[in-house]
Structure formats: structure tokens, C-alpha cells
Structure 1
Amino acid sequence: MSFGRPPNVESSPGKPPLKGSFPLDHDGECKTFMKDYVKCLRENKNNNGLCRQFSEAYLKCRMENGLMDEEDTRNLGFADLHGEKSHQT
């Protein structure tokens, strides 16, 4: 018996994330970057647009420490921080 869904409904398997898994930072290698980002959010009433440079720094730290695949941050939505306009369709 399955609680929370109608009877006789088959569940479909979920799709994996497009960029793969996102391992936890068990050793706290990027904790300082995360704290800087959270501090910025608090100071700016959770307006993450004003804290994007901290978000980018955190992702760079994760890449450098093997916690995520290497990727150009412009491909992750940070092109505008480098003086480029994003090309969204």
C-alpha cells in the first residue's frame, strides 16, 4: 500500500540532474565561501541578485576541490559578471 498517492498509479522514475550529482562538502573546504554568500543574503534581505559574486566564488571553490565538474562560470549564468550579456532564448 502506498500512502499519499491514488491507488493503482504507477510511479515513474525521476530524472537525474542535468549536471550530475552535487556531493556534500563534508570537509568544509568551501565553508568560508558559503558563509560569505549567506552573510550577503542576510544583509540584502535575501536578494540573491546582489550576492551573485559570492555564489560564483562558492561554485569555483567546489570545482577546484573536486566537488563538482569543471565548468566555465559563464555557462552557469554568470556571464554578466564578466561584462558579457547572457544569450538566453
Structure 2
Amino acid sequence: MPRFFFHIRDVRLGLSRDELGLDCPDVEAAYLEACRAGLDLRHEFVARGQSPQDFSIVIANAAHEFVSELPFTVVFGHRMAKNNAHP
């Protein structure tokens, strides 16, 4: 089964690399896993008072090649990004 890595991109600080990765049957399954992981991180944004608009999940394959990018605003919906936006 192919391995995918789910890096977190912060527009200000760059990429936080996932060193372990996760086995998924295909790219679609990896994308759905990124959606689930993103939803699990929602409370982190709320607790820190951060807007998700500055963050995304970058999905890479086992060769560390870019596969897809999932902005947290897509995971949470644009309403949360607007409600938590920095002044």
C-alpha cells in the first residue's frame, strides 16, 4: 500500500514535515484522511485564536512529491476563517 505524508504549511513559518506518513490505498483515500485530520485539528485553531486561512495540509507521496494541498478553510468552511480572522 502506498505511503503518504501530511505536512502542515503555515504561510508565515513554512512547512512542518510529517516524518511518519500513513499508508493509504490511493490518492483519494489520502485526501479523505487529510480532511479527517484537518477536522481533528479544528480545536487547536480555536484554542489558539488563530485563523485557519494561513494553514493548509500538503499531501506528498512516498517519493516526497507534491500530490495535493488542502487549505484548512476548505476543511472548516469559509465561515470559520472569517469568524477567527485576525483584526
Structure having greater relative contact order (Cα 8 Å, sep ≥ 6): 2
TM-score (norm 1): 0.28
Compare CA radii of gyration and give the structure with the larger one: 1
The structure in which a higher percent of residues are strand is 2
TM-score (norm 2): 0.29
